[in-house]
Amino acid sequence: MKVIENRYTIALLSVIMVCLLVVPSAMADYTGDHSLTVYEHNTINGGVVFDTVVDGSKYTLLYSPPPDMTKPVLSQDMTAAIPAGATVKTARLYNYYTWSDSGNNTVVGDPAEAILTISDGVNTWSTEVNNTAANPDVAHYVDRKGQGYASKKYDFPSGTLAWDVTDYVAGSGTFTATIENAKDLTDSTNNWTASNPGEYFCTYGFGLLVVYELNDGSRIEYWIAEGCDMLYASSYYGITPAMAITNATFSDGVQCAASAEMTTVLTASNKGLATPPKNMVIFNDVEVGPSTAASTYAIGVNTFDVVDLLSGQNIVELQDRNDCETVCNVFLVINKDKRDMVVKIDSDLHALRTDVQNLDHAGVRISLLSKIDNAIAKNDLALGCIDAGDETCANTNLNTCKSIMDAFISEVDGQSDIHIPVDTADALISDASDIITDIDCAINTPM
């Protein structure tokens, strides 16, 4: 039996080649030209979980060998960890691939054709993706460098496969997914050899996203964005960082929340930890941090706290700064639960109380602590009203809490540069103002 030696080395080199082995041209399609698509947006009581492998261990070369060889198949276990009593609303199985090779570096490559399966340990379901007929259950997002350069070489697509597996993921558990190359080997066109195994693609592995509903769960609003956009800012190709930027838009007027977490999924974004970072994630014009894949053949998953950056139209931008990466997913989950908002206010009030305890002037310190303690008491009453199902009572106490915080700000402002240093006063006023914003948010959020 023939054996391909170092096939993981071949696969890794493929990722490097996709960024390097092209004649430079400003027309190379490493620009941000494929904004992510919002697949689903909803408001529910529940949560969102995502599981994948981020160490690169699942990066595999998938090819179609001669009849005397076994076709390679990638298998990966993923866990859907959802609470007891929850029901699955949406389950999405992702596979991220690159370097869908034609077997000839001068011939344009086709998007990957693959057979996918998922198993719950008892039952197994399968589906096939090809380039001749659309699969209604699988969205196939593809990007490529394009042929706008002199050599016409190495134009091999990357892609994201997104399979709706809601009917197969019934609840919490471990699920096994597999992928293999669906193409049959044609020796006359592929000239199959151990060093060049014909038409193939390299998969980074799977990701499993599960949205669940829970009757007594927090009220959340979520967005699932998916796609495939290859980005590479490099003077070698004439691509600037301003050109190598893609985005996703989450519009619904959300400006405040108990919490807001954004998760990004990229491949090969391994230079995020460089100094300075070679890629950046930007939320509403604020840089929140880079994507940090473990290597060029790994999936980079990062979660960012964006609760203080929410606006009427929330836009995430993902920019390459000489990394060479592919953007695949962004998930935004906003906690809009009124009770959770009031709990957050309580936490922030106690943090403010700790800061006030550090003031030197005893009289000012005692007066401000009294105001904060009164605000905490009113906020606690609001929480009890929510638990009793009385929204009017909750809002009445929240409004009183807000008035107390207004008085707190007035007193701090009056003592600024007298008994409170200016910088300290400014910080206390800023924190109290943020609490008032959160109180307004809670008041305007229905139970």
Domain boundaries, the chain: 7-335, 338-443
CA 335 to chain centre: 16
pLDDT-derived band at 26 (thresholds 50, 70, 90) equals: very low
CB 162 within 8 A of CB 36: no
The reported pLDDT for the residue numbered 196 is 59
The reported pLDDT for the residue numbered 88 is 98
- Return the CATH number of the domain spanning residue range 7-335: 2.60.120.1200
For a pLDDT cut of 90, what percent of the chain falls above it? Answer: 78
CB 332 within 8 A of CB 220: no
User: Quick one: average pLDDT of 294-309?
Assistant: 96
Contacts of 432 (CB under 8 A, 6+ apart): 352, 405, 408, 409, 412
The reported pLDDT for the residue numbered 191 is 52
Encode pLDDT of 91-150 as tens digits. 999 999 999 987 777 778 889 999 999 999 999 999 999 999 999 999 999 998 876 655
pLDDT-derived band at 172 (thresholds 50, 70, 90) equals: very high
CA 392 to chain centre: 37
Which stretches does DSSP call E strand in 120-255?
124-129, 138-143, 158-164, 173-181, 200-213, 219-231, 245-251
Q: Is 332 exposed, middle or buried (0-12, 13-18, 19+ CB in 10 A)?
A: buried
- pLDDT of residue 80 exceeding 70, the answer is yes
**Which segment of 66-70, 178-182, 364-368 scores lowest on mean pLDDT?**
66-70
Query: How far apart are alpha carbons 409 and 403 in whole angstroms?
Result: 10
- pLDDT of residue 347 exceeding 80, the answer is yes
The reported pLDDT for the residue numbered 2 is 27
User: Quick one: average pLDDT of 275-302?
Assistant: 98
The reported pLDDT for the residue numbered 15 is 47
- CATH for 338-443 (3.40.50.12160, 3.40.50.300, 1.20.272.10, 1.20.140.40): 1.20.140.40
CB 159 within 8 A of CB 27: no
- pLDDT of residue 441 exceeding 70, the answer is yes
The reported pLDDT for the residue numbered 4 is 33
Q: What is the pTM (predicted TM-score) of this model?
A: 0.89
Contacts of 78 (CB under 8 A, 6+ apart): 51, 52, 174, 175, 176, 177, 206, 207, 208
